[in-house]
Chain A
Amino acid sequence: MSGPDLIVNNALWQGDMVDVWVDQGRILRFAPVGEVGPVCRKIDGHGALLLPGLVDGHVHLREPGFEYKEDIASGLAAAAGGGFRAVLAMANTNPVNDSAAVTTFMLDQAFRSHPHGPLLHPVGALTRNLEGQELAPLAELSEAGCKALSNDGMPVSNPDLFRRALEYASDLGLPVIDHCEDPHLATGAVMNEGRVSGLMGLKGQPVVAESLHVARDILMAEYLNLPVHLAHISCRQSVELIAWAKQRGVRITAETCPHYLLWTEDMVEGYNTLAKVNPPLRTADDVEALRQAVRQGIIDILVTDHAPHADHEKEAPMDDAPNGISGLDTALSLSWTLVQRGILVLDDLCRLWSRRPAEIFSLRKNSLAPGDPADFLLFDPDATWTVTPQILRSKGKNTPCLGQTLPGRVRLNVVDGHTVFHDATVP
């Protein structure tokens, strides 16, 4: 061992100010501040919080096919600036990621633009062309490097096909991520069904469109004794079903997004297409249930469901505007608002954004102990920033946060010992 090749001075780790010594992509040790280290590259952390690198289990990077919304380079740049060490990119590209060719292309594009990370882990389509008719070549996708399988955006409504997909995927050891939405109950919906949709004259999606499908998946997982990971859970009914399932020992894991923990259907008032997302923003009661669920671990992880769109697509009447919120740039700041309000504590963020997703998707573990991979970030919780189109690294400027001032800023992001993002505005 040659000694450290990077020292990050003055980082706040579990209440102590430390210097982090990094050697060949691994954490060498936490040294007391002021200990004279050998000559090597040094970065001053200015007392910012040290956090394990984040994992986003659910993003849409739009490449191939929709590069005007986002491409892998811009998406990974947003991930780097957002504090992520890895993202799982969904398959609803054009062509769909249902072949080794597309998976390999995505990995190549990621390596070309971000050779040192953040890592892009493609999620393969569960069914060919996401059509829900026949299985995609799941083993081929696995061999090509897919880390999970999902029909995200196009839920598999045929329960028999879903069953076969779970069985087949289990032999490959790949987690299956299911987007829970009954297509009949959700037809034409542009927001939550309830008070606001009734007043605004918009077609609403009832919560049962999600929870009915959640119940199906739970019963299927129990019957087959196989794992299912439930994508972007948005409502109380689903939370209560998941809690019930976990009590029974069903192999269910689940995710939700910062927007479901912070905002309600009220945000759509005035026909705000930036708040149009699927599943839709629900009610204050659903928000409360989700907050409790992430605290208690009933919902295992947070994800962004980063869904970038071009401005001209969102600048349309409600029915024409596409679903989705751009989330990689704002995820940690939005999560931090939950810490500020006493809803979560710092360790919850580490669990929800780093430890549990690494377990669920079998990524390398990262507890920031000596010998662990040097995947970490520095987060200045006292900084604030105003969300403008220019400041967002994603091409997708479609976030209801535009114009708002958010707390906390990522200062440094290190993946595998490599600095993938360093905020140069701090001296």
Chain B
Amino acid sequence: MLWPHKDLLCISQLTPAEILHVFEMARRFAEINSRPIKKVPTLKGKTVVLFFVEPSTRTKTSFDIAGKRLSADTYSLTASTSSLRKGENLKDSALTLQAMHPDALVLRHQQSGAAAFLARRLSCSVINAGDGWHAHPTQALLDGFTLSEIWGEAMTGKNILIVGDIAHSRVARSDVQLFTSLGMNVRLCAPKTLLPSGVDGWPVEVVPDLTAASRGMDAVICLRLQLERQQAGLLPDLREYARHFGLTAAHLRLANPGVRVMHPGPMNRGVEIDAALADGEQSLILDQVSAGVATRMALLFLYLTRKDQTGEE
């Protein structure tokens, strides 16, 4: 497949065929990760800047490992190590980076739309590693890849429940787009204060009671509850939240046999997910992390070899 996209900003850019192609590529790259020598020369000579304005450890590490395993040179910048700290605005920071001719810029930013903002102004590929509450497409792709490794072709028609703070979750928005695009049924469970405005118009079912919502599910994705939501008055306290929206083994007994549990991390054990459940045999949480490296290898490959494939340049 000739990859037609310069940037990865959100899942709605991708067709179902393109999503499945990413899975296929990730599957091939996953094999490299199990070799004793985990490095291939595929992206030798390519430069990837990891520009993480919003702090993140796991996503940055995942991209860093993915790039290095493909022999790309990766450079890491954070808000505190960049000139943003000196009052430089995002546009100038990005143009400065661009002048050093990277092949791709991986951006994590606390503002929705930051990736699109840079993509319009930079000639290199921009990979959105999470922008505000808007999108986290690489997370959605790794979630989808994780499930496709289990379900294979049978993904269509599976029932997926996303529980927690949907309103402020870029993971939820991207997951909903990806799963519905592949023909899965998505159900959301959250108190109204944590649902996005206009959710009635989304292609999902909203079930506010977790017990009822768990019935008939094939996978449950728990979202991290940011502790500041309580300070913002969106919920009374963590204890009450955990009692009503924390996933437990009892919920899973109502789900379909073989139900899987996922979490994009980092977890608040005992809040959105029962502590033991996270380590249980139904948990895919660590598989997600492994899948993350393979998926990001696939994405770096697709976006960094795009020009060579199409004969541009």
Please state if B112 and A201 are interface contacts (CB–CB under 8 Å): yes
Q: Write out the residue numbers on chain B whose beta carbons fall within 8 Å of the beta carbon of A199.
A: 173, 196, 198
Let me know if A364 is at the binding interface, CB within 8 A. Answer: no
Return chain A residues, CB-CB under 8 Å to B75.
none
Q: How far is the CB of A404 from chain B (nearest CB, A)?
A: 19
Task: Determine which residue in B113, B131, B173, B198 has the highest number of CB atoms from chain A within 10 A of its CB, and name it.
Answer: B113
Residue pair A202, B116 in contact (C-beta under 8 Å):
no
B90 with A316: CB separation less than 8 A = yes
- When the two chains form their complex, are residues B113 and A318 in contact, meaning their CB atoms are under 8 A apart? yes
Residue in chain A with minimal CB distance to B172? A201
B60-68, B132-140, B219-227 - interface stretch: B132-140
* Distance in Å: Cβ of B38 to nearest Cβ of chain A: 35
- Report whether A318 and B198 are in contact in the complex, using a CB–CB cutoff of 8 Å: no
Could you say which of A196, A201, A204, A316 contacts B132, with CB atoms under 8 Å apart?
A201
Whether B116 lies near A194 (C-beta < 8 A) is no
B117 at the interface (CB under 8 A from A): yes
State in angstroms the CA–CA spacing of A194 and B200 once bound together. Answer: 10
Question: Given known contacts A201-B170, A318-B111, A320-B111, is B197 in contact with A195 (CB within 8 Å)?
Answer: yes
User: A324 → chain B, closest Cβ, in Å?
Assistant: 18
Contact check, B117 vs A316: say whether CB atoms are below 8 A apart: yes
Residues in A201-229 with C-beta less than 8 Å from chain B? 201-202, 204
Q: Which residues of B contact A316 (CB under 8 A)?
A: 89-91, 117
In the complex the two chains form, is A198's CB within 8 Å of B196's CB? yes
Q: What B residues does A204 contact at CB under 8 A? A: 197
> Does any Cβ of A come within 8 Å of B109's Cβ?
yes
Within 8 A of B (CB), among A309-368: 312, 315-320
- Judged by a CB distance under 8 angstroms, whether B201 is at the interface is yes
> Does the CB pair B134–A201 fall under 8 Å?
yes
Q: Does A193 contact B (CB under 8 A)?
A: yes
Please report the C-alpha to C-alpha distance between residue A317 and residue B108 in the assembled complex, in whole angstroms.
13
Does A398 touch B at the CB level, under 8 Å?
A: no
Inter-chain CA distance A410–B133, complex, in Å, is 44
Q: Is B114 engaged at the interface, CB distance under 8 Å to the other chain?
A: yes
With beta carbons under 8 angstroms apart, the residue of A194, A197, A201, A317 that contacts B117 is: A317
Q: Quick one: which of B91, B199, B201 contacts A315, CB cutoff 8 A?
A: B91
Q: Is the interface of A mostly helix, strand, loop or mixed?
A: loop
Closest residue on chain B to residue A319 by CB atoms: B111
Instruction: Please tell me if the beta carbons of A198 and B198 are within 8 angstroms of each other in the complex.
Output: yes
Q: Which of under 10, 10 to 19, 20 to 34, or 35 or more describes the interface residues of A?
A: 20 to 34
Residue in B91, B109, B173, B197 whose CB lies within 8 Å of A194: B197
Bound CA–CA A204/B168 (angstroms): 12
Whether the Cβ atoms of B198 and A317 lie closer than 8 Å is no
Q: Check B173–A317 contact: CB distance below 8 A.
A: no
Q: Given A201-B135, A201-B170, A202-B133: A193 and B113 within 8 A (CB)? A: no
Among A194, A197, A312, A317, contact of B111 (Cβ-Cβ < 8 Å): A317
Closest to B167 in A: A198
Closest approach, in angstroms, between the C-beta of A265 and any C-beta of chain B? 10
Indicate with 1 or 0, residue by residue over B159-184, a CB within 8 angstroms of chain A CB atoms: 00000000100100100000000000
C-alpha gap A200/B114 in the complex (Å): 11
The CA-CA distance from A94 to B167 in the complex, in Å, is 37
A320–B117 Cα distance when bound, in Å, is 12
Docked complex Cα distance between A73 and B112 (Å): 37
B197 touches A317 (CB 8 A): no
Contacts of A38 in B (CB 8 A): none
Q: State whether A201 and B116 are in contact (beta carbons under 8 Å apart), knowing that A193-B197, A320-B111 are contacts in the complex.
A: no
Report B104-140 residues with CB < 8 Å from chain A CB.
109, 111-114, 116-117, 131-135
Tell me whether A105 is interfacial, beta carbon within 8 Å.
Answer: no
Closest to A187 in B: B232
Nearest B residue (CB) for A206: B197
- A15 proximal to B (CB < 8 A): no
The 0/1 profile, CB within 8 Å of B marked 1, for residues 162-205 of chain A is: 00000000000000000000000000000001111111111010
Report the nearest A residue to B169, measured CB to CB.
Answer: A201
Does A200 contact B197, Cβ atoms closer than 8 Å? no
Contact status B201-A317, CB under 8 Å: no
Cα of A204 to Cα of B197 in the assembled complex, Å: 8
Check if A271 is an interface residue, CB within 8 A of chain B.
yes
Tell me which residues across on chain B come within 8 A of A270, comparing CB atoms. 116
Cβ of A271 and Cβ of B112 under 8 Å apart? yes
B198-A194 in contact (CB<8A): yes
CA distance A202 to B199 in the complex (A): 14
Q: How far is the CA of A378 from the CA of B167 in the complex (A)?
A: 51
Contacts of A201 in B (CB 8 A): 112, 131-135, 170, 173, 196
CA distance A201 to B113 in the complex (A): 9
Rounded to whole Å, the gap between the CB of B164 and the closest CB of chain A is 15
- Residues of A whose CB lies within 8 Å of any CB of B are 193-202, 204, 270-271, 312, 315-320
Given contacts A201-B170, A201-B173, A312-B91, 9 further A-B contacts (CB under 8 A): A195-B198, A199-B198, A200-B134, A201-B133, A204-B197, A271-B117, A316-B91, A317-B90, A318-B113
A-B contact pairs, 6 of them (CB 8 A): A197-B196, A198-B198, A201-B170, A201-B173, A270-B116, A319-B132
